[in-house]
Chains A and B, each alone.
Chain A
Amino acid sequence: MFTALLIEQLLNGLQLGVMLFLMAAGLTLIFGVMGLINLAHGSLYMIGAFACATVAAATGSFWLGLIASLAAAAGVGALIEVAVIRRLYDRDHLDQVLATFALILILSEGARWVFGSFPLYLDIPPQLQGAVPLPGGGQYQLYRLAIIAVGIAVAAGLYLLISKTRLGMRIRAGESDREMIAALGVDISTLYTVVFALGAALAGFAGALVGALQSVQVGMGEPVLILAFVVIVIGGIGSIKGALVGAMIVGVVDTMGRFLLPSLLALTMPAAQATTIGAALASMLIYVVMALILAFRPSGLFAAQS
């Protein structure tokens, strides 16, 4: 029975990791290409979830909702890039932090204005309801397996996009030498808008997928935002591969910590104490891991460039 539980928890860690990857990929791409710290990335996640819930409620189709989430997040992303973000590329990180902090306030309250104050309903599509048996006697939720599959597909797609396509070539060029590609006649401002919208779409997509599992409400993006930053910092900022590895580390460490720490502590102290202290330590765990990694590798595991 313990093996089955272990497998299930590993899958849970993997699924959390995949979700974080969708968020982190956009963040790290935007930082890598434009050098921008975007605190408002979590708001795009929220917008994706709201769009999906609204369209799914109106049409009865989760799949249309999913498309809407991509469109809405990419659209809002492009809009704020053109209106605000564009003016921040040549500023220092401080101004970027303040401006995107302001965007969080605007987008959160704006969303509440449009969608109301109560959490929205969004359910898993009927095709993906239920659970499937696992080797070892356990069961696992089909939808979470689907999320893992989608996440892997997106990772592969991003890899192909960046290594094989013309857009990817420009993105890579933009990461290594910004002036050069402008000199080569690439329309850099359009490239930036496209990259930002792509990152936003990934965040919105993640929000819609997770929205079916969680509560679709204002402020849902913020906890994920902080975790996504942990991911990209562990992985090395600007590196998609780093984001993938970092996401897996954070996903598995967080899930396993919550699962194992209380029972490990219970070996040495009374059960009631072990559960509270274990829970406290588990919530600190990923930050401890991050500090340890940065203490030994100050630019993360896969630093893109020095």
Chain B
Amino acid sequence: MNRILAASLFGLSLATSGLAHAEPVKIGVITTLSGGGAGLGIDMRDAFTLAIKQSGNKDVELVIEDDAQKPELAVQIAEKMIQGDKVDLMTGIIWSNLAMAVVPNAVAQDVIYLSPNAGPSALAGANCNANYFNVAYQNDNFHEAMGQYANQDYKNSFILAPNYPAGKDALTGFKRFYKGSLAGEVYTQVGQTDYAAEIAQIRASGADSVYFFLPGGMGIAFMKQYAQSGVGIPVMGPSFSFDQDVLPAVGDAALGVKNSASWSPDLENEASKAFVESFKAEYNRLPSIYAAQSWDTANLILSALSKASAKDKDAFKAALKAADFKSVRGTFSFNTNQHPIQNIYVREVVKDGDVLTNKIVATAFENHKDAYAEQCGL
């Protein structure tokens, strides 16, 4: 009944694994594999399964299910994985609102959850949990980096985001480090596809730059319309609208745009190079940041498994918290609230042959921590 991909299907040989604990571990992966947001979930899943496959660890069993980007369905699948499949660990959720639906209940049932993408502020501060590890970022982080970077060149920025919690986290994060004045602050409708009205406001506002957080199709629509509008004021954003999953759809309109992320395909370290190579070889496309974060999540789990059994929760959590793995992001460690301490880079969209991709142009923050860790009692 379940899509169980026993890792043994593609395991190479046990000899390469060098595993101390041979007890099987079951990981539940809930991610978005159908509907408009499926691209992100597919990148997440592909990187995760590839990392497990490369490790040759035959004791890892994956249970992968599609949440169709619906919170209620995600909750139902989580219940099934916890009560039915009796998974030891869970991961995979892409969207903040789905994470908010699943994570609090999962960790309350003593299941360890590792977030490969979303990082809502509500889970980073007072409601942090010993069973919750965020391997990606806290939602504010990329926006904070761009706010910091904007100080170099801009004094009057126009900022916009969708009118929902992650959107407010985004603009709060940007404003936390941005020192100039605001030419305008606009919250758009969730799922909005036409930004003519907002672009007209930008044109009239006298801004010297635009910062936007519009994930998925919203950002693609905004960039295409903005490029055609003739406004011409420089645009900045977090990586979500400029990553490998959406760049082909945005096209040349994205060229030259500065965006912030914790990783980029050109990042100079061995783990990252090896990851990009093997992902390209396996799937014949460049990995996105979602793939990178998911790859790290898988490798973090593997590193902890080599030290402790997943059944021994306390030892396993300690092993996870040590973050003793080779991250594609270079330096990576966990803060007290079990959210990352990592560098955040500023990247620029460039063309590599025919393919649009990113290259790093600056480091906005070194070993950056989120703003909520102090409220966490861990």
A residues in contact (CB < 8 Å) with B: 1-2, 4-5, 8-9, 12, 15-16, 108-109, 112, 117-121, 123-124, 129-131, 138-139, 141, 143-144, 210, 212-220, 223, 255, 258-259, 262, 271-272, 275-276, 279-280, 282-283
CA distance A176 to B168 in the complex (A): 52
Residue contacts A-B, CB under 8 angstroms, 9 given: A118-B245, A119-B39, A121-B251, A138-B203, A139-B230, A214-B194, A215-B216, A217-B36, A217-B217
Most buried by B among A1, A118, A121: A118
Instruction: Identify which of A129, A138, A223 contacts B228 (C-beta below 8 A).
Output: A129
User: Would you call A131 and B38 a contact (CB within 8 A)?
Assistant: no
How many residues of B sit at the interface, in one of the four size bands?
A: 35 or more
Q: Per-residue CB proximity of B237-253 to A under 8 Å, as 1/0?
A: 00000000110111100
The one of B36, B186, B200 in contact with A219, judged by C-beta atoms closer than 8 angstroms, is B36
CB contacts (< 8 Å) of B20 on chain A: these are: none
Q: Contact check: which of B163, B185, B191, B200 meets A223 at CB < 8 Å?
A: B191
Contacts of B367 in A (CB 8 A): none
Interface residues of B in 209-255 (CB under 8 A from A): 216-218, 220-221, 224-225, 228-230, 245-246, 248-251
Q: How far is the CB of B168 from chain A (nearest CB, A)?
A: 8
A279, B204: Cβ atoms under 8 Å?
Answer: no
- CB of B373 to closest CB in A, whole Å: 25
Q: Give B142 Cβ to nearest chain A Cβ, in Å.
A: 21
Q: How far is the CA of A262 from the CA of B160 in the complex (A)?
A: 13
The answer to the question of B201 belonging to the interface, with a C-beta cut-off of 8 Å to chain A, is yes
4 cross-chain pairs, A with B, having the tightest CB-CB distances, nearest first: A131-B230, A215-B217, A215-B220, A119-B249
List B contacts of A108 (CB < 8 A): 35
Decide yes or no whether B96 CB sits under 8 A from chain A.
no
Name which residue of chain B comes closest to A216, CB basis.
B249
Contacts of B315 in A (CB 8 A): none
**In whole Å, how far is B342's beta carbon from the nearest beta carbon of chain A?**
27
Residues of A within 8 A of B194 (CB): 12, 16, 213-214
Do B36 and A220 touch across chains, with their CB atoms under 8 A apart?
Answer: yes
Q: Does B306 contact A (CB under 8 A)?
A: no
Q: Are the CB atoms of A214 and B189 closer together than 8 Å? A: no
**Interchain Cβ contacts within 8 Å, total number:** 131
B50 is an interface residue with CB less than 8 A from chain A? no
Determine the chain A residues whose CB is within 8 A of the CB of B193 once the complex forms: 210, 214-215, 220, 223
Other than the known A5-B204, A215-B193, what 11 A-B pairs have Cβ atoms closer than 8 Å?
A: A112-B38, A118-B39, A124-B228, A130-B228, A131-B230, A215-B217, A215-B218, A215-B224, A218-B38, A275-B187, A276-B163
Shortest Cβ distance from A7 into B: residue = B200
Are B220 and A141 in contact, with the CB atoms below 8 A? Answer: no
Is B336 part of the binding interface, using a Cβ–Cβ cutoff of 8 Å?
A: no
* Contact assessment for B34 and A258 in the assembled complex, using a CB-CB cutoff below 8 Å: no
Q: A4-B204, A5-B204, A279-B189 are in contact. Are A12 and B39 (CB under 8 A)?
A: no
Most buried by B among A8, A119, A144, A223: A119
Listed in ascending order, the chain B residues whose CB lies under 8 Å from chain A are: 34-36, 38-39, 42, 163, 168, 185-191, 193-194, 196-198, 200-201, 203-204, 216-218, 220-221, 224-225, 228-230, 245-246, 248-251
Contact of A118 among B191, B229, B248 (CB under 8 A): B248
Nearest Cβ on chain B to A122's Cβ, whole angstroms: 8
B197 lies within 8 A of A119 (CB): no
B249 touches A118 (CB 8 A): yes
Do residues A119 and B204 form an inter-chain contact, with CB atoms below 8 A? Answer: no
Q: Which residues of A contact B228 (CB under 8 A)?
A: 124, 129-131, 141, 143, 213
Contact B187 A119 (CB under 8 A): no
* Known contacts A215-B249, A259-B197: A271-B35 contact under CB 8 Å: no
Q: State whether B230 touches A117 (Cβ < 8 A).
A: no
For the complex, what is the distance from the CA of A216 to the CA of B224, rounded to whole Å?
11
Which residues of chain A are within 8 angstroms of B250 by Cβ–Cβ distance? Answer: 121
What is the CA–CA distance of A210 and B221 in the complex, to the nearest angstrom?
10
Q: A223 CA to B36 CA in the complex, in Å?
A: 12
Across the interface, do A5 and B200 meet the contact criterion of CB distance under 8 Å?
A: yes
* In-complex Cβ contact of B189 among A141, A218, A282 (8 A): A282
Chain B, residue nearest A15 (CB): B196
Bound Cα distance from A299 to B102, whole angstroms: 44
Answer whether A275 and B230 are a contact pair too, CB < 8 Å, given A4-B204, A119-B220. Answer: no
CB distance from A274 to the nearest CB of B (A): 10
A122 closest partner in B (C-beta):
B249
CA distance A131 to B218 in the complex (A): 22
With A131-B230, A213-B225: A8-B248 Cβ-Cβ less than 8 Å: no
Indicate whether A275 sits within 8 Å of B186 (C-beta atoms), given known contacts A216-B249, A217-B36: yes
Verify B224–A280 contact, CB threshold 8 A: no
Query: Interface centre among B38, B197, B203, by most A CB within 10 Å?
Result: B197
Q: Assess whether B201 is in contact with A279, with CB atoms less than 8 Å apart.
A: no
Q: Which residues of chain A are near B225, meaning CB under 8 Å?
A: 141, 213-214
Minimum C-beta distance from A224 to chain B (A): 8
Q: Contacting A283 at CB < 8 Å: which of B38, B163, B196, B220?
A: B163
CB distance from B71 to the nearest CB of A (A): 16
